[in-house]
Structure 1
């Protein structure tokens, strides 16, 4: 089983109206999305901030790319805070045909998709309503013998890089840890939001954070087979792509480039043996 994972795409319908910026935007997102969607995977998952300001035209751009791939691509998007800047969640979900949260029971693992976004531009921390938390508690208990992969936009406070900064995590009042820890098997929690790669192990759970492609043109590929979960970083090495990303990120609203996006050497990849134990390996050791 393979999952292609992208976070914080921030596709902008509005950038500085200069020919070189518009050209760079179109070229960068065409190149990145083509590479992402052409990657063979059972699921292609976006962990929030797919759009820069939540305009329906921004969603339409990405979903048109997805639809052009036909049934080969099963695309799933969980909500990020930027995705609700312009329209309410209900309007976005109606336009995209997505669900707010859900459970996918596959042979190799259970996948849980969470909605941690608020509907406000003034508080970009994460939050979850009691109804979703009650649903999650039941979902976590399903098939404890299988790996559990959770996908959300916001990190849990005090886990991955920058998650202790103001509004850079799920609000501390949401006790997600106690729910996740009810799962006795292998658990991995994937998030974005903080624009820097980071991998942290805590109490048997692995927290995997993915940088924004505008800061580091890349996405993650998750492979689950033979009792092992491997997470790798697929980087776009073309210098032209990096140049386009730099131009766009410096000429769009509501976005600040984050130079340390790559993170440390332990944030690039992860290998978890679901039966015999756990081990982290860096990209250089592959």
Structure 2
């Protein structure tokens, strides 16, 4: 099973793209085109929050129009830049898995890997929380299918990153969350957003991975006195491949590279070389790989 993850889309009204720093809408449209064109099509796409820049109804209308072009089943959660009710109003009819009220939490049991969404948003705040009600729901949900490999996805990452100003708007209740996830070892991967950086850590007897943004990235500076910086680094998304035994995660740029070389053009008899490579090692130096 292949899970594509997009995060921190920050869709905004035309002419209001992150204070004119980046055209978030165009970047998201490019990500959709990339996913649709993938030779190995993802089974699902999950979007881990900050879907819009301010949570306004007009922004959700623009978001829906862009995402409507996606050819892959899509599952959404909200982030600190979102607003629950305008989000729900825009997507409830087309995304029936969304709860009609309360936190945006749900479970999808239709695939090889179970998908469990946890709402970490705190109303009118940028920092996140998982309260006892949400944690109890997660505990019950994971207990229902203890033998099914499961991905838990949320917006705020439940760990300290070393980027101080992002850690200050982190997740309250992370220790309780870790305890629950640790008690359910079928939770093989936890996916988050929020940070605008690809970061991975061991946590709760599993692995947590945060996705970069489809718009811009947070500068990677872990000095405790550095000034907050956002950077026009390439927009990216992640691909999480379930092999049947483990997850393998890839971070990829989705805009076309400035240049590329196809290996087949460097080899006189590529079909024979390809067949030889598929046979596996040994590969002596000076042969196929130079």
Instruction: Calculate the TM-score normalised by the size of structure 2.
Output: 0.69
What is the match of residue 10 of structure 2?
Answer: 10
Give CA-to-partner distance per residue, 1:111-141, whole Å, 9 cap, x none.
1111111221xx3111134332211111122
Shift of 1:179: 1.0
Give, in whole Å, the separation in 1 of the partners of 2:188 and 2:115: 10
Give CA-to-partner distance per residue, 1:208-232, whole Å, 9 cap, x none.
0112222231101112133232211
Structure 2, unmatched stretches of 5+, are 99-103, 217-233, 259-290
Q: How does 1:1-286 map to 2 (within 5 A)?
A: 1-13=1-13, 15=15, 24=23, 27-39=26-38, 40-69=41-70, 72-84=71-83, 89-97=84-92, 98=95, 99=98, 100-120=104-124, 123-158=125-160, 160=161, 162=163, 165-172=166-173, 175-215=176-216, 216-238=234-256
The structure having more radius of gyration, on CA atoms, is 2
Give, in whole Å, the separation in 1 of the partners of 2:238 and 2:54: 24
- Say whether the 8 Å CA contact 1:37–1:44 is kept in structure 2: no
Instruction: Specify whether residues 183 and 24 from structure 1 end up closer, same or farther in structure 2 by C-alpha distance, changes over 3 A only.
Output: closer
Shift of 1:239: 6.1
Give CA-to-partner distance per residue, 1:99-121, whole Å, 9 cap, x none.
2111112452221111111221x
Give, in whole Å, the separation in 1 of the partners of 2:250 and 2:62: 27
Give, in whole Å, the separation in 2 of the partners of 1:25 and 1:149: 27
What is the match of residue 253 of structure 1?
Answer: none
Give CA-to-partner distance per residue, 1:53-85, whole Å, 9 cap, x none.
11222222222233234xx4211110101012x
- Say whether the 8 Å CA contact 1:221–1:231 is kept in structure 2: yes
Give, in whole Å, the separation in 1 of the partners of 2:54 and 2:109: 32
Point out the more displaced range, 48-57 or 36-45: 36-45
Structure 1, unmatched stretches of 5+, are 241-286
Give CA-to-partner distance per residue, 1:238-262, whole Å, 9 cap, x none.
368xxxxxxxxxxxxxxxxxxxxxx
Point out the more displaced range, 218-227 or 32-41: 32-41
- Say whether the 8 Å CA contact 1:7–1:211 is kept in structure 2: yes
Instruction: Specify whether residues 128 and 234 from structure 1 end up closer, same or farther in structure 2 by C-alpha distance, changes over 3 A only.
Output: same
Give CA-to-partner distance per residue, 1:25-50, whole Å, 9 cap, x none.
55434323322354422211100001
Instruction: Specify whether residues 22 and 175 from structure 1 end up closer, same or farther in structure 2 by C-alpha distance, changes over 3 A only.
Output: closer
- Say whether the 8 Å CA contact 2:157–2:193 is kept in structure 1: yes
Task: Give the SS at the match of 1:81.
Answer: coil
Point out the more displaced range, 165-174 or 189-198: 165-174
Instruction: Specify whether residues 59 and 38 from structure 1 end up closer, same or farther in structure 2 by C-alpha distance, changes over 3 A only.
Output: farther
Q: Aligned pair count?
A: 228
Task: Give the SS at the match of 2:81.
Answer: helix
What is the match of residue 252 of structure 1?
Answer: none
- Alignment RMSD: 2.7
- Say whether the 8 Å CA contact 1:200–1:207 is kept in structure 2: yes
